Amino acid sequence: MIEVKTDVCLKPKKGAAVTAAKVGVLTVFGLLAWTVVLPLAAAAVLSKAVFGKRVTPMLNTVTYDDYKDRMDRQEMSFVSRGNRLAGCRYSAKGKGRGKALVLVCHGIGCNMDGYLNRTAWFVDKGYEVFTFDMTGTCRSEGDGLGGLMQSKIDLHNAINFCASRPEFEGLPILVYGHSWSGFAAANVLNYGHKELTAVATLSGFNDTWDIMKIHASRYVGKLAVLIKPWSRILELLKYGDDAKGDGVSGINAYGGPVLVAHSSDDSTVPINCSVYVHRDEIVNPNAEYILFTDRGHTLSRPVAAESRISEDYRNNRKGPLEAKGANVFQYNVDDRYRFSDKKIVFAIDDAFMEQVDDFFTRALAARAERGEEEKVC
């Protein structure tokens, strides 16, 4: 019979224990590197690549000289997060004050001159317009765009500036925000801007990550999923409380008239990233919605002109635009519009603009009615 001793303690060799400990430590560090260090570094690199460069004037653009027979211009400026931003006040020639002030706010990769066609349209309808270059854009200060939240902060400071200026005293203030500024126009309402009479948010995204994940995927592929929380943390570290909130929360907090418009064929801000797609979360009873199917990203350009630009691009583009070191957003704008005549690029669809004007007009009428009721009371 074989006797088995049960009181023998089998101890691992010292070398084996040390090896196991090393493997454990390396595993922990590997997990930290994969889930924290690499995504955080990728988020920082992505932010620098996308927002660290300035935007210069569009290659194929209009200037004030194209509209100076229709409106006067007064150059102005204000400060936003330590940078002085260039702005302009536009008014009809020889017609005195306008009926209201519209803040026309540009998209990313563009500047205020890129919206002169819409500015002139509003001036022709009896409005005054204030428009400005965002941080890091053309005539404004700033080493780069900063980040997507920068448009919200710049618009916040622009509203405060206009509300404090004697030139605009007594004028109802309206906001026309498109694309990057469509996001800003809705999100800025989280600051409690009750002095605004109405806001139009056009082709805007609801949250910064909604649109950032598209660009993140282009740069880092599947790693974009891991970047999301760290990208948000970097945003909070940079902007603090200014980074909180989204378009829906702003619209709900405001409670006043808001027009939300988008097109389902928008490839720049896809519909699944939009404020519009979150309309079921909006409880503001004064919010209105317009959904198009064939207007692309701009909305204010006639469908025929949009089709012509696409056709010109397909027929003439032989290779990438020679723009080494350009801001990625500006590159996309310049690349798309470089083959089309300026008259087509800056064509205005009166029918769309009249929808916006009708929305503003009704909001102004409601404001005037409330004012009369307050006088009676």
Model pLDDT for residues 199-208, shown as the tens digit of each residue: 999 999 999 9
pLDDT band at 110 (very low <50, low <70, confident <90, very high): very high
Tell me which residue of 312, 231, 182, 192 sits closest to 50, measured CA to CA. Answer: 231
Q: Can you state the angle between helices 247-254 and 180-187, rounded to 10 degrees?
A: 40
Domains and CATH numbers, the chain: 17-51+209-244 (no CATH), 55-207+247-371 (3.40.50.1820)
293 pLDDT above the threshold of 80: yes
168 secondary structure, DSSP code = G
8 pLDDT above the threshold of 50: no
Sign of CA dihedral 227, 228, 233, 234: positive
Q: List the helix and strand counts (H, then E) for the chain.
A: 12, 8
Mean pLDDT, the chain, as a whole number?
A: 87
Strand segments, DSSP code E, in the chain are: 71-80, 83-92, 101-105, 128-132, 173-178, 196-202, 258-263, 287-292
**Residue 376 phi, psi dihedral angles, 5° rounding:** -65, -45
236 pLDDT above the threshold of 90: no
Give the whole-angstrom CA distance, residue 368 versus residue 377. 14
60 pLDDT above the threshold of 90: no
33 pLDDT above the threshold of 60: no
pLDDT band at 4 (very low <50, low <70, confident <90, very high): very low
Residues 158-184 have a mean pLDDT of: 97
Note the pLDDT tens digit of each residue in 239-258: 999 999 999 999 999 999 99
Sign of CA dihedral 245, 295, 111, 155: negative
Give the whole-angstrom CA distance, residue 358 versus residue 348. 16
